[in-house]
């Protein structure tokens, strides 16, 4: 996992500001991955800021990390 994603994993909050653990869930098979499991998934690609910005209507300096779920689906996380 990138250093940025590791740092962000401790700063996640829900809509009302309550902290909770970082996790990702696959929309295909419903498996969930926590911050410790994420780096063990095969890396697919890193989408640079310019690529991500092209799909946003507001400025944001995000890189997106793509990893492969055990079922073969691709998951994305903002870093």
Range of the domain at 48: 3-13+21-78
- Residue 1: the pLDDT is 45
Which secondary structure element, helix H or strand E, spans residue 34, and what is its range? strand 32-34
Cα–Cα distances (Å) from 70 to 10, 42, 55, 78, in that order, read 25, 9, 27, 20
How many domains in the chain? 1
- pTM, 2 dp: 0.70
Span 25-53, pLDDT tens digits:
999 999 999 999 999 999 999 999 988 88
Cα–Cα distances (Å) from 74 to 6, 17, 58, in that order, read 20, 28, 25
């Amino acid at each position: 996992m990138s250093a940025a994603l590791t740092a962000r994993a401790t700063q996640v909050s829900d809509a009302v500001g309550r902290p909770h653990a970082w996790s990702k869930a696959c929309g295909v098979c419903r498996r969930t991955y926590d911050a410790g499991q994420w780096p063990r998934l095969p890396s697919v690609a890193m989408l640079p800021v310019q690529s991500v910005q092209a799909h946003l209507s507001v400025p944001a300096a995000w890189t997106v990390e793509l990893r492969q779920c055990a079922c073969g689906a691709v998951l994305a996380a903002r870093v």
